[in-house]
Structure 1
């Protein structure tokens, strides 16, 4: 059991670049979640651990504490669930690619159990975007599970007390830097899917995160970090602006590392500014809906980023035998209206007031 003094000593060990075991990490994060030390010490701990660089044991210990103490669980037995998310806190902010990709993947038959948060450094986070589309993001976990069953997609709000009742919202709303908590919390999905695609905010996090996903029971997974050519910036998405570094977990437990480039995928290399969100959230949401409806240029940066990121989901889920095949499937799902139909079903299914949600979505297509 920690005291303020012993917790301070642990911070000193981290500053000296000494690693924690999984059990030590679990106990430290339990201390934080239970708010048993000052906010200053909690912030110092997260900063020191991030500066040292997290090991997979430390991330797994953090996840264990969050999942055990601060996550409402739901059952989705019989459903081969997939999740996709980004950790956020990356150096380059894009439009909400992961949400768009989840909608398109769901329309292609992959049940998506998403788990995200509101924006901290970006213009529009996962929860913000879903809310602006008309989805009820403050509902309970059971309604999200219902939406996954009915619409093929649902979103657990990682900052809502209905999903994480103890502490996550309190902590994440007060820090504005990427930390172990972003990674571990994003893995604390109430439905515990066994297939996942995850973007991380730094290239050095790819290996630890894929090994954590293996350790906590994922059967197939892909972790990546995308680069922006000519800069030191990156994104927690697969990139159409430069290479994407990947690590993939196969069903036999092996992990393969590789790199993807736009050229080898037949994609033009785009200027990063073409992926930036609109400064006005309402205008950005309208443009997001237009993209889902197939109204964006088929060779433009947004469309190609969406198709690529969807293809990775379809490939990991076993729906597409290759990334190339997945890109074709994604494009077809957008152009034949499946993706927008799925978005409408999601707004209706994950809603305590379905008609109000659909009215919100309808206003975005006027």
Structure 2
């Protein structure tokens, strides 16, 4: 077993570990025998050096092996989670994209990171809609997937061995290795991905890692104004994985007839605000840059799921799903079945009525 202090020194000296050595390092970290100080130094040193694909694959190999086991009878399963680290305080775009994609027929198992410092936590948003993922055991969330085609995998529930590392990562208060690793450790091993990243250099790196993991179709994206999503407010760098090949290009919303809008239209102030924005969008009562952003990201998810041929077709399909009310019905169905599975009450919670005016 490697001494973590020696590992940290090698990282400071800009050394890169082969996959097997990286796996040994993660085994030591998850053993519970490292101090918080050692883990904090490791995370910072790793961030300063920068992650290599072989290191990420070694880390992920061990984390997945020690995750809560689960299986999903969905060969074209997809995930829409990203690294986090969006600089713009936007509403929960990837969570809404998951509902839209599921309403269009995709099977979605979206991971949800734990971040108590985040004002727009997906866990809190889902809870306000009557979907409790914070205390739900893994088998319940897998049953939710089987019944609705959609589920949410909460990090503390499916990866309890990461508890110390996650806590330390939150304490140091900067983007770190965990942000990079999180989208790669889905225990259900989805074959399609839409993965937003916090800087543009990461799109090709993580697309390559996904390819090695056996992912068939993926969009790894970064909005150049700081979004970890496909953006309507500026160009988006996309590394697209298809047929074992990776193509990296810039996407501009004007390609789909969308005028660039200010990113301020995507921002929210709290989880409650994000939940209310989500209700408006999923209800199909709004035509705005917010709706278009969700439709773009859901459209990419539909491509990753093999339901449409390209992003243009996916965007149009997602728009149709939103306008038809199918996305809202998927939210209601998911909340109802989640509560039924939890056996907390006989009737689902009533979703709060939207009192906002429709934006044009």
1:239 aligned onto 2:231: yes
Report the Cα distance in structure 2 between the residues aligned to 1:248 and 1:354, rounded to whole angstroms: 42
Indicate the residue corresponding to 2:137 in structure 1.
Answer: 140
Tell me if the contact between 1:81 and 1:193 (Cα under 8 Å) persists in the aligned partners: yes
Indicate the residue corresponding to 2:71 in structure 1.
Answer: 75
Q: SS state of the match for residue 85, structure 1?
A: coil
Report the Cα distance in structure 2 between the residues aligned to 1:356 and 1:148, rounded to whole angstroms: 20
CA deviations on 1:104-136 (whole Å, 9 max, x unpaired) are 010000010111113355321222221221112
Report the Cα distance in structure 1 between the residues aligned to 2:109 and 2:198, rounded to whole angstroms: 21
CA deviations on 1:131-174 (whole Å, 9 max, x unpaired) are 2211120212221111112111100101x2x3112224544543
Indicate the residue corresponding to 1:293 in structure 2.
Answer: 283
User: CA shift at 1:26, angstroms?
Assistant: 1.4
Report the Cα distance in structure 2 between the residues aligned to 1:349 and 1:190, rounded to whole angstroms: 22
Normalised by the size of structure 2, how large is the TM-score? 0.92
CA deviations on 1:15-45 (whole Å, 9 max, x unpaired) are 1211111122111122222222211111111
Tell me if the contact between 1:11 and 1:44 (Cα under 8 Å) persists in the aligned partners: yes
Normalised by the size of structure 1, how large is the TM-score? 0.90
Report the Cα distance in structure 1 between the residues aligned to 2:346 and 2:52, rounded to whole angstroms: 45
Indicate the residue corresponding to 1:362 in structure 2.
Answer: 351
Equivalent residue pairs, number: 350
Distance 1:354 1:102, change over 3 A: farther
Report the Cα distance in structure 2 between the residues aligned to 1:42 and 1:261, rounded to whole angstroms: 40
Matches for 1:1-366 after TM superposition, within 5 Å: 1-2=1-2, 6-69=3-66, 71-119=67-115, 122-137=118-133, 138-158=135-155, 160=156, 162-168=157-163, 169-228=166-225, 234-251=226-243, 253-277=244-268, 279-296=269-286, 298=287, 300-351=288-339, 352-353=342-343, 355=345, 358-359=348-349, 361-365=350-354
Q: What root-mean-square deviation, in Å, do the aligned CA atoms of Structure 1 and Structure 2 show?
A: 1.9
Tell me if the contact between 1:347 and 1:357 (Cα under 8 Å) persists in the aligned partners: no
Report the Cα distance in structure 2 between the residues aligned to 1:249 and 1:280, rounded to whole angstroms: 34
